[in-house]
Chain A
């Protein structure tokens, strides 16, 4: 296929139309939808509003809740180990605090548990891949916090609740927005390089659904910059971390508390027993379940292991019916389909356009509304741009950014995006880029209180694995804030709990009990979780693979 500066002839024709309307659009604004209009487009076009893609959970503490099939299959799965497989009398790690997950929330929990007086040697972090391999490091656009004179946490509170369709847990939202300014100050003290003006004022922008410019950024590497700094701090504190060893089951004790976990070394296949007075679940979200077959922005290990494990211990889930599709996943070229195009691209001025180069939606509606509007334009109005593989997409008119903000702004502020497209011979300063909604975030999760405590004694949680903070839809920039606030709170609470807790006899009886419930409900025994990693090997290879070695 012949490509002209990265695009085939067929797409070039549409780009010409985009160029023709650009002059006029530079001065034009598209109006925002009313709440009623939002509901209408969501009901008709958002993938989450289709009842036929979900089912009711038939066992466990959230029995009766409606969740996507992929989540139901993960939850209603048999454990990978049974009581007879594991020798619990031999403890490999005996600690005060076990942190499961090495992303933002887990890292914050470890740091703050140390500040709370737990000896680093009495902490263990365990992670599936490397410390830092997470969605946290991939976040691009920014972190919200109400720290400007025209802003205040109660204004942030309203934005969060409205964006979440008023389904959020008020106490959690209060914690999120109230801790916001303190989180930014702490990051600044730790040496995060925020985008600032010469006098130190933070450069802040709008995100979808915000009423004040409160998005703090570090170019379009915000997540990477924050994670690099806190990981560095974590290592400096000498907190032990065991990599490539995901937890595959939580342990409980005879008093009904969570009391550690069984880890699995994915390289040697050895298991380890961890006994812990407190356990923090920070395993992140579920993008790699590919809900409804969508591509995802998520990292390789985002398989929602924590949900499955915590559920077997009696932790309730909430808002798991709601899935966030980010409006702007890459739709071309094929090599990067589904990868995140930060909301900051629209924040800086790029308009979403159909194949005729026309505007059809305000660029910064809340994410679910913006996504639904894109899907409507492609599959309802016939306005989508078709790629050579038959995929539909919407133009993001990125050349507008430098026209509005000045030469060099895209290259500087969006260096990750600019670099990614350049690798595939597309110059986003000269040509628009093609996008389509992509699976991005798990809005719901494990029920927690404002201190990061779950309803199960000994188990704490923070970050994407939890539910309630974002209701039915998270706003941009609130996930980095979420892990900072609730990773910290969970770490502090877990530390305080560990100081006074005592652990009884370790057991996996809860796992046996859960398996019996599944059997009674008629769940096929072939279904196992946690998933640990998705399966992407070629079909040809798998069809001829034999397990003899």
Chain B
């Protein structure tokens, strides 16, 4: 047995095969400790990219749970498998030709009408998003709501795997957000004005003055710059 000052080991079953790994590791680091070298299933390793969608079951539990492998700690007796890829349907569209009519999302993704409100997508989401609610909002044509509810989606694909209606929720959310950003949200007038100012050439003039300065001069200007 390990010495008393060593970190205790736990058993995990990686795709059904038992390995002993130090407790406290993330699922991702536990797989590596056990000898797996990732090609698929690891991306940012920080909870932002959705590469490491994982299905697991705890000892003496019948329930299948979901997680991001990089954001979840191993547990004694855990059975786990990672999903390397989601064969999901993503529509191709030209944003310039779309609109925000009530059926805008339904037109691109008619399968959202097949939603049976089972809530499986919401239950499986490792980001704990209200996935079913944004599918329903998409169906109603409430683009802003669909966009806001889906905003934190890391596009791991677990919802699409779980959905009995074969909806690709995370692609629907993507389109909803783009439509919202482009057509629903008010435009930033000051950005438009700033672009015009750059095009007018005055900025080039101002910057060329700075570029012409020697090191001592520019340091002085930098030190004296006002902070607002």
Q: Evaluate contact between B190 and A148: CB separation under 8 angstroms.
A: yes
Question: Which chain A residue has the least Cβ–Cβ distance from B35?
Answer: A541
CB-CB < 8 A to B34: which residues of A? Answer: 538, 541
CA distance A232 to B206 in the complex (A): 37
Contact of B222 among A162, A188, A335 (CB under 8 A): A162
CB distance from B58 to the nearest CB of A (A): 16
B44 within 8 A of A: yes
State whether the Cβ of B83 lies closer than 8 Å to any Cβ in chain A: no
Known: A138-B48, A150-B228, A211-B226. A174 touches B151 (CB 8 A): no
Residue contact B221 to A158, C-beta cutoff 8 Å: yes
Q: Flag if A147 contacts B190 (CB, 8 Å).
A: yes
Contact present for A178 and B204 (CB under 8 Å)? yes
Q: Are A188 and B181 in contact (CB under 8 A)?
A: yes
A158 CA to B207 CA, complexed, in Å:
9
Would you give the 0/1 interface string for A214-230, flagging 1 where the beta carbon is closer than 8 Å to chain B? 00001101011100110
Taking a contact as CB atoms closer than 8 A, the residue among A130, A158, A232, A336 that contacts B178 in the complex is: A232
Given A157-B210, A211-B226, residue A236 in contact with residue B181 (CB < 8 A): no
Q: Chain B interface: which size bin?
A: 35 or more
B90 cross-chain contacts in A, Cβ below 8 A? 235
Are B33 and A202 in contact, CB atoms less than 8 angstroms apart? no
Q: Verify if B145 is at the interface (C-beta below 8 Å from A).
A: no
The residues of A that contact B44 with a CB separation of less than 8 Å are 133, 137-138, 299-300
CB <8 Å contact, B225 and A137: no
Distance of A223 Cα from B154 Cα, bound (Å)? 12
Whether A236 lies near B92 (C-beta < 8 A) is yes
The closest CB in chain B to the CB of A139 belongs to: B48
Contact A200 B194 (CB under 8 A): no
A185 contacts across to B, CB distance below 8 A:
188, 191-192, 195
Contact, CB under 8 Å: B181 / A170? no
Interface residues on A, range: 35 or more
Taking a contact as CB atoms closer than 8 A, the residue among A166, A221, A299 that contacts B152 in the complex is A221
B6 at the interface (CB under 8 A from A): no
Tell me, in angstroms, the Cα distance from A129 to B84 when the chains sit together.
11
Q: A235-B90, A537-B37, A541-B34 are in contact. Are A133 and B49 (CB under 8 A)?
A: yes
A23 within 8 A of B: no
> Complex formed: what's the CA distance from A188 to B178 in Å?
9
- Which among B114-122, B158-166, B211-219 touches the partner chain? B211-219
**What mask results when residues 149 to 182 of chain A are scored 1 for a CB within 8 Å of chain B, else 0?**
1111111011101100010001100100111011
Contact with B along A56-83 (1 / 0, CB 8 A): 0000000000000000000000000000
A547 interface residue per 8 A CB criterion? no
Contact A536/B29 with A194-B181, A221-B151, A299-B49 known, Cβ cut-off 8 Å: yes
* B residues in contact with A174, CB < 8 Å: 204, 207, 211
Using an 8 Å CB-CB cutoff, how does the interface string of A223-258 with B read, 1 for contact, 0 for none? 111001100110110100000100000000000000
Report yes or no: A170 in contact with B191, Cβ–Cβ below 8 A.
no
Bound Cα distance from A424 to B26, whole angstroms: 11
Contact B223 A188 (CB under 8 A): no
Let me know if A479 is at the binding interface, CB within 8 A.
Answer: no
Does A266 contact B39, Cβ atoms closer than 8 Å? yes
- Residue A340 interfacial (CB < 8 Å): yes
User: CB < 8 Å: which of A196, A213, A218, A538 contacts B188?
Assistant: A196
Interface string of B92-111 (1 = CB under 8 A from A): 11110000000000000000
Q: A423 and B71: CB pair below 8 A?
A: yes
**Interface segment out of the listed A40-48, A85-93, A414-422:** A414-422
The residue from A138, A182, A300, A536 contacting B195, defined by CB atoms under 8 A apart: A182
B127 contacts A419, C-beta separation under 8 Å: yes
Q: Produce 1/0 per residue, B11-51, CB < 8 A to A.
A: 00000000000001110010011111111101111111101
B177 touches A300 (CB 8 A): no
Residue of B nearest to A265 (CB): B39
Residues from chain A with Cβ under 8 Å of B147 in the complex: 193
Q: Complex: how many Å from CA A129 to CA B92?
A: 22
- Interface flags for A305-349 (1: CB within 8 Å of B; 0: not) read 000000000000000000000000000001110011000000000
**Nearest CB of B to A534, in Å:** 10
Q: Are B222 and A190 in contact (CB under 8 A)?
A: no
Residues of B contacting A137 in the complex (Cβ-Cβ under 8 angstroms): 43-44, 48-49
Taking A132-B49, A158-B218 as given, write out 12 further A-B residue pairs in contact, using a Cβ cutoff of 8 Å, ordered by the A residue number.
A130-B49, A150-B228, A157-B210, A159-B225, A162-B222, A174-B207, A177-B207, A178-B204, A196-B186, A267-B39, A533-B39, A545-B35
Q: Identify the B interface with A (CB < 8 A).
A: 24-26, 29, 32-40, 42-49, 51, 71-73, 90, 92-95, 127-128, 147, 151-152, 154-155, 174, 177-182, 185-195, 197-198, 203-204, 206-207, 210-211, 215, 218-219, 221-223, 225-228
6 interchain residue pairs of minimum CB distance: A191-B178, A200-B186, A541-B35, A147-B194, A181-B194, A191-B181
A-B contact pairs, 13 of them (CB 8 A): A129-B51, A133-B51, A138-B44, A146-B194, A157-B207, A166-B222, A174-B204, A177-B207, A184-B188, A191-B178, A200-B186, A218-B151, A228-B174
Residue ranges of A at the interface with B (Cβ–Cβ < 8 Å)? 35, 129-130, 132-133, 137-138, 145-155, 157-159, 161-162, 166, 170-171, 174, 177-179, 181-182, 184-185, 188-194, 196, 198-202, 211-213, 218-219, 221, 223-225, 228-229, 232-233, 235-236, 238, 244, 266-267, 297, 299-300, 334-336, 339-340, 415-416, 419-420, 423-424, 533, 535-538, 541-542, 545
